[in-house]
Chain A
Amino acid sequence: MMESIGIKYIWLVPLAPLVAFILISLLFKRFKMLSAVTAIVSMAISFILSLDILRLVLTNHEITMNNPIEIAVPWIDINGLFIEAGALIDPLTAGMLFVVTFISLLVTIYSVGYMHDDPGFSRFFSYLGLFVFSMLGLVIANNYFQMFFFWELVGLCSYLLIGFYYYKNSAADANKKAFITNRVADFGFMLGIIILFVNFDTFNFGKLAEAINASSDLALITLAGILVFVGPIGKSGQFPLHVWLPDAMEGPTPVSALIHAATMVAAGVYLLARGFILFASSTTTITFIAYLGGFTALFAATIAVTQRDFKRILAFSTLSQLGYMVMAIGIGSLTAGMFHLTTHAFFKALMFLCAGSVIHALHKQDIFEMGGVFKEMKITGTCMVIGGLAIAGIPPFAGFWSKDEILLTAKANGFTLLYIMASITAFLTAFYMFRLIFLAFFGEKRSDFHAHESPLTMTIPLIILAVFSIFGGFIGAPFVEHGYASYVYFGEPHHPTPDLMVMVSSTLVAVAGIFLAWLIYIKKAISAEKIATQFAPIYKFLYNKWYIDEIYAWFFNKIVLGISNVFNWCDRYIVDGIAHSIAWIIRTSGYKGRYLHTGSLQTYGLVIFTAVVVITLFLAGPVVGGVQ
């Protein structure tokens, strides 16, 4: 029935990049090009196999969301714990596999140019291999445990890659922050799946779905659902655990594109889709998810409006877009969430790679020090504009269709407040994105730099991604029959009726945002400085990212380290103090002085031994019922 090399060699999909990681880190470290080629070949293998799986899923209509292929072997099988290593193939997996392997391959190729002069060239490619392995292991997982396993491993890769420039203090701060923030989230995630396992005796997605359906314990399902959702709050940068993602931009830019925009951070959304039933079974959980996502979308957009750093603006935009996806899941549409994940992966990877191209050429990241770059970097500039139009939601670019699906669902399912918040976010998105584009690429040069177009290894991936950012949305456009919604869905395929009003209003909102950016930064009809000074408190509040980092820093430095020092003091002076006092009492209790300083271990031992025997027998006497 399933003639597919992709299925037959499914294990190779994650393992090929792992092999690349091992080969590069152990053997090829000294050979730059060999390292790069090994990484590219391994990703190409994963990509081709994933393409074949996608082909199979698209053509074979027996494989559906409700009827996946599952392959698994036991990983641990002991009394009380059964864990599988498995692969679950359905349209959701196939789509995600395609996105991850496709972008990984492009980013790896791009990196050959971008990392060209870096002394850590080989190390970079080995980490990329490890990352892709972990990410793909996560995507194909057929159970929560495996998901968690690789979830933490992608976190490790993120840690290693953010700290790639380990000699920079800022990078060393950022990667620690990323790991610990995610650890806090994983603490919840881990508890969630332990609760599921303890109550249902399985980690398997399919079996859990049945068990959850059959369960009447709503409190349990809610608790487990919310705890598991804490994982995505960290990984997908939802408020209030979003703080690590902007700092993660300390890593090399291709990493920002691949890991911190297109794939890893979207893993949280993927988890929400994969475990949808757990969340959807509790109104509390799903509503919480919806509003937290909607809030994050708006919250991050307000910050992005004020930032100056090219990559940081993109990072906040990623947070905001992830908020959209999480919200989409929360309002009940797995389809919309995953669709937006897919288009976002294309255009956000595109924009980050454009950022890399610009930074590579200019060695600057502050958009206020750029200007007029378009003239010297036509390909990069054009690609960036395409990305901007896509994320702003201008038809027919990719982002329009997926964002439309989210807005449509929000309206259709009666989430009016979220619909309004999402529309405001759309306006802000268009505004800050074109603020960035106008400031960096157009207008006059604002500082001294020499821009030049990047080499082909960098521009070709840009062009490919640009094509996907233009046309990628058609897979889910309402006029396409058998589109995205007929493959990736929950329960039954569901086509929301297209609503012209939603489409028109969202387009108008986006155009308004772009127009405002044009007025301020090109036409200079309105002065940004004037607005900033007029609304100084608000501006400062936004510019400082709502002071959330400061709150955390205070909490850690004052509370956590404070407790740590108190405990340390307690250990030295109370616990040890008591021990020393006991020793002193024993030493001075009735022995002749000359025995005190013999320094003979045996004497001391004997004293203590005798004392202990006597004391214990005395104390234990009443308890000892049995000793005759």
Chain B
Amino acid sequence: MSFPILSSILLAPVLGVLVILFIPEKEDKIIKIVSAIATGITVILSLIAYFAYDQSVGGLQFVEHIPWIEKLGVAYGLGVDGISLPLVLLTAIVIFAGVFASWGLEERVKEFFIFLLALVAGVFGVFLTTDLFFFYLFFEVAVIPMYILIGVWGSTNKEYAAMKLTLYLLVGSAFALIAIIAVYLYTGLGTFDILTLTKQTYDVGFQKFAFFLLMIGFGFLVPMWPLHTWSPDGHVAAPTAVSMLHAGVLMKLGGYGLVRAGIFMFPEGAKFWAPVIAGLCIVNVVYGAMVAMAQKDLKFVIGYSSVSHMGYVLLGVAALNTLSISGAVAQMFAHGIMTALFFALVGNIYNKAHTRMIADFGGLAHQMPRVAVGFVIAGLASLGLPGLVNFVAEYSIFVGAFRVYPALAVLAVSGIVITATYVLRVVQKVFYGPRNPRWDDLEDAKGVEMVPIVILCAVLLFLGFFPSLLMDMINNGVDPFVIDYLSTLEIGGMF
């Protein structure tokens, strides 16, 4: 067996936790450096895996398989394909950026980074595992640190938000767990291996049942309207790095689960429920964007914009064709980077100005030109401007969805106008206008603070101009499943 690259990605943050445990509390700097190194390793390893992945072969690669609870058929199995690999890379990039975005943290530094790294290990696990049981387990591993991180280091109504977020996520995962157990019992194969389970054929009635549970369960995570209200509250309350990881990556677990465990396993069930998802996701897109427009707190704007943008992911999923699903996965990646950038920038402003109310600002481009440039880039990505990777993702979803739900696709495309409106309003109100002397002592981002801004902007722009680096990989992962399981389906569509 060759070098266990995936286990190394998973263990790097765990190792980081162990090292930090032995560092004295007062050595803030060293704790941060260790975290940066641990997450830096995951970035490098993910990049290596990304470029070493052989697209001509496809399928799961870098597979590791160690039986664990043999009686139940639970195994420690890792492997990645064109769908999970971009998301692993996304996680690595976001957490690496997140560590630097938390560089200024002073309160309980040691505990913060321990929980942060534990959280990210859980997230990596979800994307890396090939076993449904571990899929669930890793997800739970991610949720608990999240609760503590928000509850302790958060702001703005943090206890309420942390509790709300955790309960919603637990309820969501409970639905998913029922589906997982049902599948296990139904097949009677005594295995949780996702690929094996995907290859089974299921009775249509069971598919409808199982997909429904997954749709609700993962719908909580994505989040699908009306199960979404935990997410803006959670984003707002969470400390910067947690918001980045949460909006950037954790929400993607829902989309990923829906694709991997939902439509690939239960195509008939997906076909049955897809119109419901399609209908609700338009509410996400349009309603989410309209609500974002009404917000007064910068973080709430971004929180609701995430609700709106994740609606595109759901639309891609609901359209059930290769292009739309590829677009959905690409959108998860693109949105993850973009929203992490947003949160890093807002965190930067909040740390210095101690307010996030839009009305308090104005003319901030005078004092913080670099933050302003970063914010404009994130905003342009958000409104789907060509040249940034989000555009390609959204465009793929639109084209894919248009073939199936033309009327809904038109509504979805209208989201780009609403998004432009609220994003540019925020940019104008915060950064443009005459110099406001109140903020004259705000320092622009510099040094370490620039690391997340530069990295995230660079990814958005680079993949925006060279999207095939991302799209080929994703398409490679999505295509075989759709040909195998979905091409035989005729989707009637709602409209």
Contacts and interface: CB of A to CB of B under 8 A. Distances in A.
Interface in A194-228: 194-195, 197-198
B425 A567 contact: no
A148 interface: yes
Interface string B201-217: 01111111100110000
Contacts of A579: 229
Given A148-B386, A149-B387, A626-B209, 13 more contacts: A78-B322, A79-B323, A79-B475, A80-B326, A80-B400, A150-B386, A167-B434, A180-B417, A197-B399, A601-B166, A609-B170, A612-B178, A616-B178
A184 B323 CA distance: 25
Contact of B365 (A166, A176, A616): A166
A608 B171 contact: yes
B424 A627 contact: no
Nearest to B232: A571
Interface of B: 147, 163, 166-167, 170-171, 174-175, 178, 182, 185-186, 202-209, 212-213, 225-226, 228-229, 287, 290-291, 293-295, 321-323, 326, 363, 365-366, 380, 383, 385-387, 392, 396, 398-400, 402-403, 409-410, 413-414, 416-417, 420-421, 424-425, 427-428, 431-435, 467-468, 471-472, 475, 479
A137 B71 CA distance: 62
A166 B294 contact: no
B35 to A, nearest CB: 26
Contact of A605 (B166, B186, B212): B166
A456 interface: no
Contacts of A609: 170-171, 174
A187 B186 contact: no
Interface stretch (A479-487, A510-518, A556-564): A556-564
Interface in A8-43: none
A612 B171 contact: yes
A427 to B, nearest CB: 38
B432 A163 contact: yes
Contacts of A171: 432
A153 B420 contact: no
11 contacts: A78-B322, A81-B471, A153-B386, A169-B434, A180-B424, A187-B413, A195-B402, A564-B291, A623-B212, A625-B205, A626-B205
A172 B178 contact: no
Nearest to B473: A78
Given A169-B434, A176-B425, A191 B413 contact: yes
Interface string A140-173: 0000000011101100100000010011110111
A80 B433 contact: no
Nearest to B428: A172
B392 A76 contact: yes
- Between B229, B428, B431, B432, the greatest number of chain A beta carbons within 10 A of the residue's beta carbon is seen for B432
Nearest to A185: B417
Contact of A624 (B209, B294, B399, B409): B209
B428 A176 contact: yes
A416 interface: no
Contacts, number: 182
A150 to B, nearest CB: 8
B167 A626 contact: no
A391 interface: no
B322 A79 contact: yes
Contact of A167 (B421, B425, B432): B432
A505 interface: no
A624 B206 contact: yes
Contact of A626 (B186, B323, B380, B400): B186
Interface in A547-589: 560-561, 563-565, 567-568, 571, 575-576, 578-579, 583
Contact of B174 (A81, A176, A179, A612): A612
Contact of A601 (B147, B387, B467): B147
Q: Which label, helix, strand, loop or mixed, suits the secondary structure of the B interface?
A: helix
Contacts of B212: 620, 623
A604 interface: yes
Contacts of B414: 187
Shortest 7 CB-CB contacts between residues of A and residues of B: A625-B205, A626-B206, A80-B323, A172-B432, A568-B294, A78-B475, A626-B203
Contacts of B213: 616, 620
A627 B185 contact: yes
B186 A627 contact: yes
A166 B399 CA distance: 36
A536 interface: no
Contacts of B396: 80-81
A77 B424 contact: no
Contacts of B398: 190, 194
Contact of B471 (A78, A152, A180, A617): A78
Contacts of A195: 402
A329 B323 CA distance: 36
Given A190-B413, A194-B402, A624-B209, A166 B468 contact: no
Given A149-B386, A613-B174, A623-B209, A564 B186 contact: no
A568 B413 contact: no
Contacts of B413: 187, 190-191, 194
A75 interface: yes
Nearest to B144: A601
A411 interface: no
A92 to B, nearest CB: 23
A445 interface: no
A625 B424 contact: no
A153 B225 CA distance: 33
A308 interface: no
A156 B385 contact: yes
A75 B471 CA distance: 10
Contacts of A184: 417
B321 to A, nearest CB: 7
A137 to B, nearest CB: 10
Nearest to A182: B420
B433 to A, nearest CB: 5
A360 interface: no
Nearest to A624: B209
Given A564-B294, A583-B167, A194 B174 contact: no
Contact of B206 (A156, A179, A613, A627): A627
Given A79-B323, A183-B416, A613 B178 contact: yes
A624 B213 CA distance: 11
B167 A605 contact: yes
Given A80-B399, A612-B171, A183 B326 contact: no
B201 to A, nearest CB: 11
A79 B392 CA distance: 14
A266 to B, nearest CB: 20
Nearest to A563: B290
- Between A74, A153, A612, the greatest number of chain B beta carbons within 10 A of the residue's beta carbon is seen for A612
A463 B379 CA distance: 42
Contacts of A625: 203-206, 209
Contacts of A81: 323, 396, 399, 471
Contacts of B166: 601, 605
A171 to B, nearest CB: 8
Contact of A187 (B167, B203, B365, B417): B417
- Between B363, B421, B472, the greatest number of chain A beta carbons within 10 A of the residue's beta carbon is seen for B421
A184 B421 CA distance: 10
B205 A564 contact: no
A184 B419 CA distance: 11
Contacts of B202: 626
A198 B402 contact: yes
A167 B416 contact: no
Contacts of B479: 79
Contact of A567 (B204, B287, B363): B287
Contacts of A190: 398, 413, 416
A575 B205 CA distance: 31
B247 to A, nearest CB: 17
Contacts of B475: 78-79
B208 A623 contact: yes
B399 A76 contact: no
